Amino acid sequence: MTALNNLFLLLEQQLMHYRKEDFINILSEDFLEYGSSGGIMDKTYLIHQMTEQGIEDCLFTVTKFQAVSLADQIVQTRFVTTNRTNGNRQNRSSLWRNENGTWRMFFHQGTPAK
């Protein structure tokens, strides 16, 4: 796995622990998510759904992970998650930009996978 893939996989997995502090620090102020449920969520909404401690064990297994540089300071991640409790799979894609030396996610979409 490349250094680019390693960096963004770690960031994506960090968010999968649902800790409020991570969402505050990693999501861009203009973040938007098109969820697999069909809902559209922004950073403020998601932060209000989080707890301080998050969850200890990540609920997802990640496969087919790719981080692709789309432009200077813009990266797209593409991957599949499998929920460890119910087996549901999601195709996921995130857009990241470098904001003053810090990578922040500004868009995410999850779609049910077959």
The CATH number of whichever domain residue 35 belongs to comes to 3.10.450.50
Number of domains forming the structure of the chain: 1
Rg, Å, the chain Cα set: 13
Q: What is the pLDDT of residue 58?
A: 79
Q: What is the pLDDT of residue 59?
A: 85
The sign of the dihedral angle between the CA atoms of 107, 2, 57, 55 is: negative
**Spatial distance between the Cα atoms of 40 and 33, rounded to a whole number of angstroms:** 6
Burial class (CB in 10 A: 0-12, 13-18, 19+), 43: buried
DSSP per-residue codes, 29-49: EEEEEE-TTS-EEEHHHHHHH
Do 12 and 106 contact (CB within 8 A), yes or no?
no
Per-residue pLDDT of the chain (114 residues; tens, 9 = 90+): 799 999 999 999 999 988 999 999 999 999 999 998 889 999 999 998 887 767 777 789 999 999 999 999 999 999 999 999 999 999 999 999 999 999 999 999 999 998
Domain holding 74, by residue range, is: 3-112
Residue bearing tokens 């813009």: 74
